[in-house]
Structure 1
Amino acid sequence: MNRGRVIYEDEAEPNFRLAYPSAALAAFVAYYFEVNQSATLANPLYLNALPNLSNLLCISLNPQSWLSINQKTGTVNAVKGSRLLGNLTDLHTSIYPAGVHEFYVKFRPGMLGQLVGFRTGEVENANVDLAAFIRLTELEERMQAAAVFSERVRLMEAILVKPVLEIPIDYRQKVVQIALQKFDRNAFNPNQPLRAICRELGVSYPSLHRYFNETLGYSPKYCQKIIRFKNALQLYKRHGSRYPFEDIGYTDFSHFVKDARQLTQRLPSEL
């Protein structure tokens, strides 16, 4: 049985394209990417998505359905058309057959909610029709008419820049975004606990906890845990179980395996 695999942003894949946003949109958008499965492809592509904090806009460029499977609940969704994809609390496997062509915008945690009006926790594991949130027909037509990925990126940036720059980012959101960046960078510095990060940010832990819950719907500890696991899994894929997992905040390799089972119901080797 094909269990799928996790692909990281720095891995070259023939069926993927990836581009980063302009400076004007970098506070809102993490990156753009595209899944493009040739119509003559023999085998479907199986991809695993780890628990995460990001929301995605998915613009359908070709009317070919694909499958999304929640590996914890066993729920299978047949996905077709443009979608809003919520952040994941469970491992999901996407199965892309021949003919799938999708353009994605990966927003930074909490930022898509600022654009269309929800908290991250309110759309967890969601896979809903994008037309419920935005005027879709013209957007799809313009994206489908663009000949290449780079053109679609420029078009999407032009569409996003005005509404995004009109959104005020308050103090709480700024603190949360900086904290998330520190969680990512400090995944390799286990000697910097949350309270030390709070001191750097000039806030108390109760305040940081409140800001996270108000803007994302999750605690700082949970967010730090899933970011650390994502980074640790990448290191495991590169170096195997001999990597010193103590260097990234785990007690030992078995602690990392325990997190894998808790977050994904799988062993690291099955991801």
Structure 2
Amino acid sequence: MLLRLYKPSPPLAPFIESYIVFEDDGSLKDLPMNIVPNGLPEIAVHYGDHCESHINYPGEVKGGYLYGPHNRPGFFRPRGRIKCLCVLFKPYGVFKIFGHPQVEFRNLAVNLEDICGIDGTDVIEKVALAKTPEEKALAMDSFLSCQYIKAVERSTDIDRELVYIILTKGAVKIRDICKRMDVNIKTLERRFKYTLGLTPKEFATIIRINHAYRLLKTNDSNDIQDVVFECGYYDQSHFINDFKNLTRFTPDVLMKTSDAHVIYLNRIYTY
């Protein structure tokens, strides 16, 4: 099994967390690989064996896709060896690099050729044919650098609020964010959906559940109520409902059979 992480070039560093090249040895064949929303878009170029996608609708995964920000879970089921390169973006990274409102990609997996034309076709081929993991990452970095240069400059005005939600682990009141920005809820939602593809409430809930997921995985006491309190929920039923909506299973199932729930490339973000 091969797993390599690479940092982006300096001009792209404000927008991209890392590139991941992942190739397994076939041991993950036929295992469902859960995709837990993390509030961020992602690019994946698949150059391995057949893989079934159950994110938007059942279908085969092959080639390169931009996975927009999701507010619901999905899963992959590899039918052979997984080989892929993934781009993990920072908040509004895709918005800045491609210049498209992120609401256009909400809950969608869009082929790179549909977004970038021949450039998208070329980078998929270059990644697949590159001989080393580093060359694959460099090919993607070059492609994204060109897209960034060509994109129309778009300003963002929710930077501080994104950081605030992340620092509070999603345990925020949306009305407090409105007060901080001196805007009404409709204006705030419109700005978030345009830049991030999610409403502020959706993004905060996703960050909150990502944090809860990490706590459950490291919780030695096996007491869900401790996690409920730590994540700022007033009652356990509300927490369980949010958790199940974003992960497809309840917290107690995760704690009892954690090894049975594989997270695709460990892509869940533990803010």
On whether the aligned pair clears a TM of 0.5, the verdict is yes
The answer on 1:131 being equivalent to 2:113 is yes
Cα displacement (A) at 1:109? 4.1
Deviates more, 1:178-187 or 1:43-52: 43-52
Alpha carbons of structure 1 residues 177 and 95: separation in structure 2 relative to 1, 3 Å:
farther
| Maintained 8 Å contact 1:57/1:83 | yes
Distance in structure 2 (CA, Å) of the matches to 1:21 and 1:179: 25
Name the structure 2 match of 1:102. 84
User: Does the residue aligned with 1:106 lie in a helix, a strand or coil?
Assistant: strand
TM (norm. structure 2) is 0.76
Distance in structure 1 (CA, Å) of the matches to 2:81 and 2:141: 25
Matches within 5 A, 1:169-184: 170-171=154-155, 173=156, 175-184=157-166
Matches within 5 A, 1:156-175: 156-165=140-149, 167=151, 170-171=154-155, 173=156, 175=157
CA RMSD of aligned residues (A): 3.0
Alpha carbons of structure 1 residues 151 and 243: separation in structure 2 relative to 1, 3 Å:
farther
User: Does the residue aligned with 1:82 lie in a helix, a strand or coil?
Assistant: strand
Cα displacement (A) at 1:197? 4.7
User: What is the identity percentage for the equivalent residue pairs of Structure 1 and Structure 2?
Assistant: 24
Pick from 121, 125, 143 the counterpart of residue 127 of structure 2: 143
Pick from 69, 73, 81 the counterpart of residue 91 of structure 1: 73
User: Does the residue aligned with 2:169 lie in a helix, a strand or coil?
Assistant: helix
| Maintained 8 Å contact 1:29/1:105 | yes
TM (norm. structure 1) is 0.76
| Maintained 8 Å contact 2:46/2:61 | no
Matches within 5 A, 1:152-231: 152-165=136-149, 167=151, 170-171=154-155, 173=156, 175-187=157-169, 190=171, 193-197=173-177, 202-206=181-185, 207-231=187-211
Cα displacement (A) at 1:67? 0.9
- Unaligned runs of 5+ residues in structure 1 are 1-13
Distance in structure 1 (CA, Å) of the matches to 2:211 and 2:58: 27
Alpha carbons of structure 1 residues 56 and 90: separation in structure 2 relative to 1, 3 Å:
same
- Unaligned runs of 5+ residues in structure 2 are 255-260, 262-271
Alpha carbons of structure 1 residues 42 and 61: separation in structure 2 relative to 1, 3 Å:
closer
The answer on 1:267 being equivalent to 2:246 is no
Name the structure 1 match of 2:50. 65
Alpha carbons of structure 1 residues 169 and 61: separation in structure 2 relative to 1, 3 Å:
same
